[in-house]
């Protein structure tokens, strides 16, 4: 089994499709102020390992209407017509994971001035799926993070991430 995504790996990220990609809202506290930001949850294909990895992209870095943003995927990725963008994993990407070995690693591409804890992404992804599609779909999201169980396992899962900020490659 290949290891987790590493710096230098290349990801293939699908072209933006507003009918397929629905944003989720991640909420957190930063400097005693409530914050929130919208992200698209996509599966990125790791060209180095042949596996897919969960990737959260800030909406302003992905949707077509915000292409003027200097960090937009069209500016930092290489277009493969009809397929998507090749995005190199480097210091512009952050990640979360279950443990020091990189188990259940997921990636976040956003403004690094944002400081949400890792568990905010997991909870939001599972709970938004549960609200829209039910328990079976939420279990599918857990599976994308390499976990089994149901959405009721979110509380236990969050305990493994509480207090850990995202890390930068």
pLDDT tens profile 99-147 = 888 888 899 999 999 999 887 787 665 555 544 555 666 666 666 666 6
Contact between 120 and 27 (Cβ < 8 Å)? yes
The pTM (predicted TM-score) of the whole model is 0.77
If one counts the domains in the chain, the total is 1
Asked if the structure places residue 3 within a domain, the reply is: no
Q: For residues 128, 134, 135 and 136, what is the CA-based torsion angle, rounded to 10 degrees?
A: -110
Asked if the structure places residue 98 within a domain, the reply is: yes
Asked if the structure places residue 4 within a domain, the reply is: no
Instruction: For residue 49, give every residue at least 6 positions away whose Cβ sits within 8 Å of its Cβ, in sequence order, or none.
Output: 2, 3, 5, 9
pLDDT digits (tens), the chain, 169 positions? 678 999 999 999 999 887 777 898 998 888 888 899 999 999 999 999 999 999 999 999 999 888 899 999 999 999 999 999 999 999 999 999 888 888 888 999 999 999 998 877 876 655 555 445 556 666 666 666 666 665 555 555 554 445 688 889 9
Q: For residues 89, 129, 67 and 8, what is the CA-based torsion angle, rounded to 10 degrees?
A: 0
Report the C-alpha gap between 50 and 101 in whole angstroms.
19
- Which range marks the domain in which residue 19 is found? 10-168
Asked if the structure places residue 148 within a domain, the reply is: yes
Q: Which residue has the tokens 């930068």?
A: 168
Asked if the structure places residue 135 within a domain, the reply is: yes
Report the C-alpha gap between 60 and 37 in whole angstroms.
10
Report the C-alpha gap between 168 and 164 in whole angstroms.
12
Asked if the structure places residue 118 within a domain, the reply is: yes
């Amino acid at each position: 089994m290949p290891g987790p995504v590493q710096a230098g790996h290349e990801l293939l990220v699908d072209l933006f499709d507003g009918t397929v990609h629905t944003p989720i809202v991640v909420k957190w506290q930063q400097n005693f102020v409530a914050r929130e930001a919208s992200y698209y949850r996509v599966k990125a294909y790791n060209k180095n390992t042949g596996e897919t990895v969960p990737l959260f992209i800030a909406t302003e870095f992905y949707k077509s209407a915000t292409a003027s943003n200097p960090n937009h995927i069209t500016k930092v990725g290489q277009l493969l017509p009809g397929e998507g963008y090749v995005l190199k994993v480097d210091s512009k990407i952050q990640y979360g994971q279950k443990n020091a070995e990189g188990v259940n690693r997921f990636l976040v591409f956003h403004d690094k001035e944002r400081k949400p804890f890792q568990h905010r992404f997991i909870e939001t992804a599972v709970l938004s799926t549960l609200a829209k599609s039910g328990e079976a779909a939420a279990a599918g999201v857990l599976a994308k993070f390499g976990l089994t169980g149901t959405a009721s396992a979110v509380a236990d899962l969050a305990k493994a991430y509480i207090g850990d900020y995202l890390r930068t490659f």
